[in-house]
Amino acid sequence: MAGGPREGRSLSLVRPKEISETVLASFQSCEDDRLRELIQALARHLHAFVMEARITEHEWEQAIRVLTETGQITDERRQEFVLWSDAMGVSMLVDALAHPKPAGATESTVRGPFWVPDSPRREYGESIIEQDSGTPTWFYGRVLDTAGQPIAGAELDVWQNGEDRLYAVQDPEAPEEHLRGRFLTRDDGSYGFLGVRPTPYPIPDDGPVGRMLRATGRHPWRPAHIHMIVSASGYEPLTTHVFDARSAYLDSDAVFAVKRSLLRDFVPRSPEDPDRPAAVSGEWYSVENDLVLVAAGGADRPRI
């Protein structure tokens, strides 16, 4: 006799452990080794999470709703999935695994949700300020290799907020290319551009991530910083921040992205200072920040 309950799996007697094992086994014939490893690990941990926390039907329905809302609120200007990744510390974890740095190399940190591709190419010394946005700040330094040699022709892709806390991509009134730009280092590895002193800002908290932060007693604030992606032929690209060393929230960044080595002083400068950039008329700041890249190929990378 075929097909009776005695020969097949008894549905009424399936235990949680058997469900998990059956799901894991269902991926066993996946021919892509890495995909099989990923999907089985995901299933294993997801099932363990459900079991450990004894997830109820109501809680699981809420979880599905949160994921649905995350998709619905996401568009070209709003990336709620990146916010989840950032706010749960997963972005920093992935970054830590991908970019272990040898001593002396500039540390990496999250890219965040506000990077926009194809920022305008700008010349050495040019301003990224396209409307009044706070106290002008001269950012300067050199891009170097780990032996201290300058890297000419490295590209710095920079973006930041101003005193209204917003990145241009968040503000329909702001010029599209405001407070962002791409610069190339000169022959001596030097770069310099005029931005503004950035301000702390809350990550967008009017969606599911914001509700999670409020419900768990966390705040949405990030300390003041400017973003940089540095790339040069023959070197690993570097995604990093320059943090204002005097900012609030350095000890409680909502996305866990602060590294002490990335803190810099914003040095107050006077209008009479002979080094004052031509576009500046009043008070200004300067921030010196060398950036040290690691050679491509990982020869000088430590294992973690």
Q: Which spans of this chain sit near Fe ion (rule: CB under 5 A)? A: 112
* Burial class of residue 259 in the structure, from the number of CB atoms within 10 Å of its CB (0-12 exposed, 13-18 middle, 19+ buried): middle
The DSSP H or E segment spanning 180 is strand 180-184
- Nearest approach in angstroms of CB 216 to Fe ion is 22
Q: Which is nearer to Fe ion, 144 or 254 (CB)?
A: 254
Q: Which is nearer to Fe ion, 113 or 141 (CB)?
A: 113
Q: Which is nearer to Fe ion, 144 or 224 (CB)?
A: 224
Q: Say which DSSP state 164 is in.
A: T
Nearest to 226 by CA among 181, 280, 189: 181
Q: Looking up tokens 């109820």, which residue turns up?
A: 56
Q: Which is nearer to Fe ion, 112 or 204 (CB)?
A: 112
Q: Which is nearer to Fe ion, 135 or 170 (CB)?
A: 170
- Nearest approach in angstroms of CB 205 to Fe ion is 14
Residue type, 251: D
- Nearest approach in angstroms of CB 114 to Fe ion is 6
- Nearest approach in angstroms of CB 112 to Fe ion is 5
Q: Which is nearer to Fe ion, 112 or 220 (CB)?
A: 112
Task: Record the tokens describing residue 22, joined without a space.
Answer: 């059956």
- Nearest approach in angstroms of CB 268 to Fe ion is 23
130: how many CB neighbours lie within 10 A of its CB?
Answer: 16
66: how many CB neighbours lie within 10 A of its CB?
Answer: 16
In the complex, which residue's CB is closest to Fe ion?
112
Name the phi and psi angles at 100, rounded to 5: -65, 130
- Nearest approach in angstroms of CB 272 to Fe ion is 33
Q: Which is nearer to Fe ion, 105 or 158 (CB)?
A: 158
The residues, any chain, with a CB within 8 Å of residue 291's CB and separated by 6 or more, are 106, 141, 142, 143, 144, 154, 156, 228, 230, 238, 240
* Contact indicator for 156, 192 with CB cutoff of 8 Å: no
- Nearest approach in angstroms of CB 219 to Fe ion is 16
